[in-house]
Homo-oligomer: A and B are copies of this chain.
Amino acid sequence: MSVSLRPSEALALWHDVTLDLVREGGHDFSSRQITILLTIYLEQPPHTVRGLAAKLNVTKPVITRALDTMGALDLVTRRRDEKDMRNVIIQRTVKGALFVEKMGDVIVARAKELKR
């Protein structure tokens, strides 16, 4: 029902994965940005600025800025909510899905190689 890890293994995994992502040389995302991206791709839509801000316990401009950045990289898209024009619905993109998928592969690979 769960994954059993010792703290030393957990930290080693985190280290190995982030090292891979850094060495890869792609964008250097912050924890906030990663969390936003994963929330959009893992949790049930629809996602709004307000919803993400509440979930992450940050202010709305933080979400707006992150969406600006990741939108420029084509990792997410925004559109107005037809039902309530105040809302903005955040949507996934092909590029974003590939990015997240690749990230999952890195974690899986590093977990498999983990010395216990």
**A interface residues, Cβ below 8 angstroms from B:** 1-15, 17-19, 21-23, 25, 28-32, 34-35, 38-39, 41-42, 55-58, 100-101, 103-105, 107-108, 111-116
Residues from chain B with Cβ under 8 Å of A28 in the complex: 30-32
Contacting pair A32 B38 (CB below 8 A): no
Residues from chain B with Cβ under 8 Å of A1 in the complex: 115-116
Residues from chain B with Cβ under 8 Å of A105 in the complex: 7
Q: CA A45 – CA B107 in complex, angstroms? A: 25
A112 shortest CB reach to chain B, Å: 5
Residues from chain B with Cβ under 8 Å of A103 in the complex: 11, 14
Contacting pair A31 B18 (CB below 8 A): yes
